[in-house]
Amino acid sequence: MNILQINSSARREASHSTRLATRLVQRLRDADPKATLTVRDLNNVPHPVLDEAALGALFTPADQRTPEQAARVALDDALIAEIQAADVVVLGVPMYNFGVPAPLKNWIDAISRAGVTFRYTENGPEGLLKGKKVYVALARGGKYRNTPADTQVPYLKIVLTFLGLTDVHFVYAEGLSMGPDAEQTAIASAYEQIEEAVAA
Ligand SMILES: Cc1cc2nc3c(=O)[nH]c(=O)nc-3n(C[C@H](O)[C@H](O)[C@H](O)COP(=O)(O)O)c2cc1C
């Protein structure tokens, strides 16, 4: 089993979402000690945004790209190869201003490639990243689960499903900014959810 862990918090040591993602990975490896692990921290090596130059590079046929365009596409290729090689993907996701962190959006933009990770057929879109499990560890200062203010979970469900990633488990740590007791309760609950998710 190949595990790919994607951390997207701007924080390193202090990040709850990264700690919970790491805990998820630990429990998966407890069950399968031979599992390999690739960790990509999106703040260690920021991935470039999908700007006009990047679009130009992506829409230029490979044999006509300038060296700069080829290098830009190669950055996305590396992320695509990583997720293609993974059997299990673990995402650490803080809530920032009701959305996902910008580096995670850049990662999603990089791995969403027509003809490679999804395609359109006569029957509509088809995701090509099939047969993988995804775990998402969410960290939030407030409590937004199952409310309209939670744009993260619906968005992630839509885009992951679009790419073929249909087996997705969410672990919530909420109320982390609501005082020490609430923080402890949230972390304990998240640990319980992790046990349920890996046992499912
Ligand atoms: C810039 C910023 C924006 C935030 N926006 C929200 C928000 O919209 N809703 C929320 O519940 N918490 C928000 N928080 C709190 C974080 O979600 C919380 O601190 C979480 O633990 C961050 O994830 P991390 O521990 O993995 O770094 C925000 C924190 C920061 C630093």
Structure tokens at 95: 């809530």
Ligand 1 atom at minimal distance to the Cα of residue 140:
17
Residue of 5, 9, 15, 95 best suited for mutating to test ligand 1, as the one with most atoms within 8 Å of CB: 95
Q: How far is the CA of 99 from the centre of ligand 1 (A)?
A: 10
Single pTM value for the model: 0.96
pLDDT of res. 43: 94
Q: How far is the CA of 16 from the centre of ligand 1 (A)?
A: 10
pLDDT of res. 200: 86
Closest CA to 55 of 110, 135, 119, 132: 110
Maximum alpha-carbon separation in the chain: 59
pLDDT of res. 39: 98
Q: How far is the CA of 28 from the centre of ligand 1 (A)?
A: 26
Structure tokens at 19: 């700690």
pLDDT tens string 66-107: 999 999 999 999 999 999 999 999 999 999 999 999 999 999
Within the chain, which residues score under 50 in pLDDT?
none
pLDDT of res. 75: 98
